[in-house]
Amino acid sequence: MLRVLAAILVRPVVRNRRELVTYVASATTLAVVVALVIDIVNQLVFFVSWGDSLRSWAVTIFAAIVIAVPILYGIGRTHLSLHQAKAEVELMSLTDPLTGLANRRAILDRADAAAGTTLVLIIIDIDKFKSVNDTYGHRVGDAVLKTIGQRMAAELGGLGMIGRLGGEEFAVVSSDTPPELVIDRVKAFCTRIAGTPIVAHRIAVTVTVSAGAAIGDGRSFDALYAEADRALYAAKAAGRNRLCLSAGLQDAAVA
C-alpha cells in the first residue's frame, strides 16, 4: 500500500497541464487524508477535549495543504517537463529537419500501422534536381526542397501522411482515401509544380516532378516501395513531369 502511495506521489503520469492540476489536487487530498488520520489517532490516544482535537485537525489540514501543494506542484512540473522533452525528442526522430515533413522512419511506422489495409504509396521525385544544385548552389536547392515539401503538406496533407524519403524524393502514404482520388490530386499537384516557378533567394527556379504510384493490400512496405519505384522509373523514362501507375493499379483500372 505504501509503495502504491509513494508511486502516485513521486512517479506520477503527467503529460499535460490538465493532468498536472489533477495530480496536484489528488495527491494533495491524499496527503491531507494521511496527515489527518495520523493526527486523529494521536488525538484519540492523548485525548484532552473535542475542542482541542478539532483545532488540531484544522491546523493539520491547513499545514498539509500549505506544505503539500508547492512540493507536489514541483514534482508534477518536473514530470511534465520530462514528458515534453521526451515527446520533443521522439518528434524530432520522426521529422525531416529541412522540410518539417515526416521522415523515412515515420513513413515506415505509418506503413506498419496500416498493415492489413489497402495502402497507396506514391513516390514523388524532383526531376534533374542535381542540375538545380549545380546551377544555383545547395542553398537554393535546399529552399526548393523546403518549398515543395510545404506545398505538398498544404495541398496533399488531407490524403494521408506526407513525408520526405531522402534527397529529392518525397512520398504520399494513404490508407483512408480512395486510390483514384489520391492519384488525381497528385497528378494535379505535379501540374501545378511545373507551372509555378519557385522563388528561392531572389532566384526563380522552375522544376518538374515525376511520380510513381503503387497499391498494396497487406504486403510489406519494401515490396510496395519497390513497385512504386518501378512506376517512378517508368515516369522518368517516359519523359518526366508525369505520374505513372504500377501494374497493380493499372490492373485495377484506376486512371
Give the integer Cα–Cα distance in Å for 253 and 245. 10
Query: Among positive and negative, which fits the CA dihedral 30, 32, 38, 40?
Result: negative
Give the integer Cα–Cα distance in Å for 79 and 57. 32
**Closest C-alpha to 225, from 101, 108, 102:** 108
Query: Is residue 108 helix, strand or coil?
Result: helix
Q: Does the annotation count 168 as an active-site position?
A: yes
Given a contact cutoff of 8 angstroms between Cβ atoms, the answer to whether 229 and 116 are in contact is no
Instruction: Return phi, psi of residue 174, to 5°.
Output: -135, 135
The residue assigned the cell 526542397 is 145
Q: Which residue of the set 19, 88, 90, 168 is catalytic?
A: 168
Give the integer Cα–Cα distance in Å for 8 and 43. 28
**Active-site residues: which are they?**
168
